[in-house]
Structure 1
Amino acid sequence: MANKIVIVVQARMASTRLPGKVMLPILGKSILALMTERLQMISHEATIVIATSENAEDDVLVREAQSLGLPCYRGDQHNLLDRHYQAALKYGADVVLKIPSDCPLIDPRIIDGVLDYFFENDTFDYVSNLHPATWPDGNDVEIMTMPCLKKAWQNAYKPLELEHTTPYIWENPQLFNIGNVSWQTGLDYSMSHRFTIDYREDYLFIKTVFEALYQVNKNFSCNDIINLLNTEPGIYQINAQYAGVNWYRHHLNELKTIQPGQTKQAPEVLATSNLK
């Protein structure tokens, strides 16, 4: 089985809620740098590609990729499915991973676990840990074969399918052999714990976690974060108001496989914490 793995990390500077979030600093590095460092800790050999837009504002991400020694692909600003496919095609992928750039705390062990499951069951077109999700939000792993991605690229047309890359696949289980990996603890923290970045409070949470754990062990785990939050519950509270908030909330009337309990609306009034 051909198995050249390409991890495509979609990144951009434009963000309605938190502009430039992937370049925000933590411990003297950008969030993007810290995240790709964690991706490089997986045991599987993989090529990591930063996929950004052709907009001038994203030139900084090209320079950051170059400084990190990572290849970069530039494509359509809005059609992320096309950008994902073209990046995978350019770098000769047989197996493609989608890891969002807003997951800087992602646990390399979780990525390895989903990859192991994918390769041990070589009949799958697509495997994720999101349908349904069980790990804390921000440990998102989606794996697909290149033929699977190509089929989505050829057939998807809805705006949400183009913007979010993979919905055409997991919304059409009759067309693809789909697998899912759940947290082996039997717990479900997907709606209660938020390790992703979209708001200022998320940045403060992630910054605090890195400051507490990174200098002790750069390869800290999801369990290490949870133990930290159990010990210091005040850290959990930094962004707890956004736990369970995700993009599904905007498309519940369109998504067939997503239930209302898998998302929630964002609080109307944002907290006023500063980026310090």
Structure 2
Amino acid sequence: MAQNILIVVQARMASSRLPGKVMLPLLGKSLLTRMVERLQMIRHEAAIVIATSVNAEDNIIEQEAAAINIPCYRGSVNNLLERHYMSAVKHNADIVLKIPSDCPLIDPQIIDEVLDFFFQHPGKYDYVSNLHPATWPDGNDVEIMTMACLEKNWRLAERPLELEHTTPYIWENPDQFNIGNVSWGKGLDYSMSHRFTIDYREDYEFINRVYEELYLQNPGFSCDDIINLITEKPEIYELNAVYAGVNWYRHHLNELNTISADQTKKAANK
């Protein structure tokens, strides 16, 4: 029986470090649009919804979604878990993927690999990701959950970090959920050394340069293509290397039982 797969892309204009980052230009289109292009390249059949807030400043997100013919759900400003759940309910999802909008370099093949793992073990897992532990370069975040898992998460999660970051209640409670993880087949771990996500101006400079170097030759360039590029041109790697390993965990180490200090670092003072 076919299952409805829904990719939820959380996006907003507010950002303390890089306001409006999802609408920054990449070769003439917005970062958000470029990311959706990559999501549409996956082999599995999936619907996409952009989940943003009801704030007026996010009207532009809804307008951009309409321009690229992608549905948009607008909900709570701070409760992203609710945004994901209500988006899934509205679109009759059976399987929900959480992929944040700060991953415009995400490799479609990695998404397919995590989905393949999930479907190769029918009924075994409530939640599968490539983040616990992470091995691929930061910015290839894939989290998959059944609708039942997401609903249980939505009913039981209460802490602010669980509502803001959507899935911590799941992976912090392995006694309540069957959890799987997919590691990079190369046996490497670049999660703390390579940064393909966007949160700072330097990240945008990195991502923009990658697009300039790779997109015109191959719009579906892969994670390996990026690694080869920055190996050949280390000056590109250096654009945002100072922030490699910086992620949201650093603010919540005293609240997270399954995350250790070696999985994050503080941002450099610049």
Which residue number corresponds to residue 29 of structure 1? Answer: 29
Which residue number corresponds to residue 167 of structure 2? Answer: 166
Which residue number corresponds to residue 246 of structure 1? Answer: 247
Query: One-letter code of the match for 1:256?
Result: N
C-alpha displacement at 1:268, in angstroms?
A: 1.6
Which residue number corresponds to residue 154 of structure 1? Answer: 155
Distance 1:204 1:239 in 2: 8
Which residue number corresponds to residue 83 of structure 1? Answer: 83
Which residue number corresponds to residue 131 of structure 2? Answer: 130
Query: One-letter code of the match for 1:95?
Result: I
- Unpaired stretches in structure 1, ≥5 consecutive residues: 270-276
Which residue number corresponds to residue 6 of structure 1? Answer: 6
Distance 1:137 1:63 in 2: 28
- Which residues in structure 2 correspond to 1:80-229 (within 5 Å)? 80-122=80-122, 123-229=124-230
Q: In the alignment, is the contact (CA less than 8 A) between 1:96 and 1:144 conserved in 2?
A: yes
C-alpha displacement at 1:78, in angstroms?
A: 0.3
> Per-residue displacement from partner, 1:32-83 (whole Å, max 9, x unpaired)?
0000000000000000000000000000000000000000000000000001
Query: One-letter code of the match for 2:28?
Result: G
Query: One-letter code of the match for 2:41?
Result: M
What is the DSSP-based 3-state SS (H/G/I as helix, E as strand, rest coil) of the residue aligned with 1:48? strand
C-alpha displacement at 1:170, in angstroms?
A: 0.4
C-alpha displacement at 1:2, in angstroms?
A: 4.8
Query: One-letter code of the match for 1:186?
Result: G
- Unpaired stretches in structure 2, ≥5 consecutive residues: none
TM, length-normalised to structure 1: 0.97
> Per-residue displacement from partner, 1:134-154 (whole Å, max 9, x unpaired)?
000000000000000000000
Distance 2:82 2:50 in 1: 14
- Is 2:63 the partner of 1:63? yes
What is the DSSP-based 3-state SS (H/G/I as helix, E as strand, rest coil) of the residue aligned with 1:266? coil
TM, length-normalised to structure 2: 0.99
Distance 1:10 1:100 in 2: 5
Which residue number corresponds to residue 268 of structure 1? Answer: 269
Q: In the alignment, is the contact (CA less than 8 A) between 1:8 and 1:49 conserved in 2?
A: yes
Distance 1:40 1:183 in 2: 22
What is the DSSP-based 3-state SS (H/G/I as helix, E as strand, rest coil) of the residue aligned with 2:13? coil
Which residue number corresponds to residue 41 of structure 2? Answer: 41
> Per-residue displacement from partner, 1:120-144 (whole Å, max 9, x unpaired)?
0111000000000000000000000
Q: In the alignment, is the contact (CA less than 8 A) between 1:2 and 1:94 conserved in 2?
A: no
Distance 2:238 2:100 in 1: 23
What root-mean-square deviation, in Å, do the aligned CA atoms of Structure 1 and Structure 2 show? Answer: 0.5
Distance 2:126 2:2 in 1: 13
Query: One-letter code of the match for 1:62?
Result: E
C-alpha displacement at 1:3, in angstroms?
A: 1.6
Which residue number corresponds to residue 274 of structure 1? Answer: none
Distance 1:134 1:115 in 2: 17
Misfit runs of 4+, over 6 Å: none
Query: One-letter code of the match for 1:60?
Result: I
Percent identity between matched residues is: 71
Distance 2:2 2:138 in 1: 31
Distance 2:156 2:113 in 1: 30
Which residue number corresponds to residue 74 of structure 1? Answer: 74
